[in-house]
Amino acid sequence: MTVKYNDQGVLTIGNVSLQTIAASFGTPTIVYDEEQIRTQCRRFHEAFKESGLSYNISYASKAFSSIQLFKLMEEEEMGLDVVSEGELYTALASGFDPSKIHFHGNNKTNEEIEYAIESGVEYFVIDSLDEITRINRLASKPIKAVLRVNPGVEAHTHEFIQTGQEDSKFGLSIKHGTALEGVRALQESDKIDFKGIHFHIGSQIFEADGTINTIQIVFEWLKEHDIEIDILNLGGGFSIKYTEADKSYPIEDGIKLITDAIKENSQKYDMAIPEISIEPGRSIVGEAGVTLYQVGTIKEIPNVNTYVSIDGGMSDHIRTALYDAQYKALLVNRNDQDTHEVTIAGKLCESGDLIGRDMKLPKSTKIGDYIAVLSTGAYHYSMSSNYNQMLKPSVLFVKDGKAREVIKRQTLKQLIMNDVK
């Protein structure tokens, strides 16, 4: 995270004053350090190059999608993982090469399948037996696919972002035989070229143990059923640091442990090493982004709590309400270390509309100050809504001491443009 106070005591990102940005572009606004995004992409590339294995890295678009971000991803030789026609449309609008796009989703519509085929995506990540049947019927030309399997591994993370356990809407079960049924159906298809296996055990994963355990399960299963693959897609889920209690995924060490495990299992089961694919999203953009708010009402309840209300909330910051996610906030205007614990509250009409409880802010915080909530680069703008008819925020990239707008703030006119009058 490149957020720090300058010599004047003003909080900056990428050496650009966040106070100036807030005053110039308004709030709420999400600001990204472009160089930090690029650095994360390059760290993953270098880690895989060290392994000597054939690899592919696809950015998970659901973390944050925009035309300018997709242009940046292509510059950094990243592929894309998309899960809807909207994400695919945005990628194509950015000029992204469709042959480097993978189409995901547990319930792809017929329209999405046809759109992805016509667009020329590299491959589908198939999630159900029904999807195989529908692609066989809809495909106007041969397509490539990998099959998402459910390995029965429970990642150590919030239950709502676990995806590899037995009871999950994602993937086909190895334990219960539906994964093997899916492989056989793909091998028999004359429309689908079966390329390999995909799994994803969850999000905000701090270490490699769960992935290594899953690699062992998958290789053993592949060998048992004599399944040959060209691609092994490990998914994503690599963690970031939201608060001091968290740690960022150790990319270099973690990828080495994972690639070593793949080499060991390939040797153990006498199998060729497939191309290794991963899908980082949060770990690419999460720590690179901060959200700027302006302080409004400050309400002190003696001996109970102090509420500091800001001009956004769950319309641009839903993760606290969904997952009880924890964040760190800093005062933008001055570097004041005399702090106390407060609850930072949003302005929407929900008791659960909070940025967080027991968050430290300076006692001097007053109406009109700006605050920055850190590590909001992933699953904030992409999960934003118009609840309470709130406007979606603007998004800026900072690079070389300058800020540029990459998504304009939604206007009142845009808010009702689809209403029938």
Closest CA to 151 of 225, 253, 239, 222: 222
Query: What six digits make up the tokens of 324?
Result: 């009880």
Question: Whose structure tokens read 């997709």?
Answer: 70
Contacts of 129-136 with C-beta under 8 Å, sequence gap 24+, read: 129/172, 129/178, 129/181, 129/182, 129/185, 132/182, 132/185, 132/186, 132/189, 132/192, 134/110, 135/189, 135/191, 135/192, 136/189, 136/191, 136/192
Other beta carbons within 10 Å of 406: 18
The residue behind tokens 């102090």 is 306
- The backbone region for 405, taken as left when phi is positive above 0, alpha when psi lies in -120 to 50, beta otherwise, is beta
Closest CA to 135 of 191, 174, 92, 187: 191
Q: Which of 272, 301, 349, 420 is catalytic?
A: 349
Adjacent-strand bridge partners of 80: 59, 101
Structure token pair of residue 109: 């519509």
Q: Each residue of 287-300: b (16+ CB within 10 Å) or e?
A: bbbbbbbbbeeeee
Q: How far apart are CA 120 and CA 92, in angstroms?
A: 11
* Residues 110-114: contacts with CB under 8 Å, at least 24 apart: 110/134, 110/138, 111/85, 112/84, 112/85, 112/88, 113/138, 113/139, 114/138, 114/140
What are the strands, taking DSSP E only, across 133-205?
143-150, 172-173, 192-198
Q: Catalytic site residue 349?
A: yes
Question: Using CB atoms within 10 A of its CB, is residue 207 exposed (0-12), middle (13-18) or buried (19+)?
Answer: middle
Q: What share of the chain is helix, strand, coil (3-state, %, to 5)?
A: 35, 25, 40
- Phi, psi dihedrals of residue 263, rounded to the nearest 5°: -60, -45
CA–CA distances in Å: residue 420 to residues 65, 392, 394, 417: 28, 21, 26, 8
Quote the CA–CA distance of 398 and 288 in Å, as a whole number: 10
Catalytic residues: 349
